[in-house]
Amino acid sequence: MRDSLSSKECADRLKALADADRLKIVQVLRGGPKNVGEIAAELTAEIANVSHHLQVLKRERLVETEKQGRFVVYRLHPDVFEATRSAADCLDLGCCKLELPK
């Protein structure tokens, strides 16, 4: 059987998003790029925990990184995140799209 939806990849991405803390990180990053310290402060969470969750999101190509001086800045991956002018933004996982209310 030909898997036109890339079921494994989609399932892995959905698993990454199935964690409440990771969804909160996605919400924070909708506001623009931030480093791990800024994300942790906004969530009032431990930097180590936020860093772990960011690595999971990065592995699934939901976020990307850029080195800026001594900081690593995280942003939602442009191939996945689609900011719209409608009432919601969208995460395009390839096999499905998830609407995120604003």
pLDDT at residue 49, rounded to an integer: 98
Amino acid (one-letter) located at 93 = L
Secondary structure class of 34 (helix, strand, coil): strand
Query: CA–CA distance from 74 to each of 11, 14, 51, 96 (Å)?
Result: 23, 19, 10, 23
| pLDDT at residue 8 greater than cutoff 90 | no
CA distance 99 to 102: 9
In degrees, to the nearest 5, what angle opens at C-alpha 28 toward C-alphas 22 and 34?
A: 105
Fold of 7-76: Arc Repressor Mutant, subunit A (1.10.10)
Question: Which residues make Cβ contacts (< 8 Å) with residue 81, sequence separation at least 6?
Answer: 30, 89, 90, 91, 92
Domain ranges of the chain: 7-76
The structure's pTM equals 0.86
Instruction: State pLDDT tens for residues 40-81.
Output: 999 999 999 999 999 999 999 999 999 999 999 999 998 888
Return the minimum-mean-pLDDT range out of 4-13, 21-30, 41-50, 69-78: 4-13
Cα 47 to Cα 18: distance, rounded to the nearest angstrom = 20
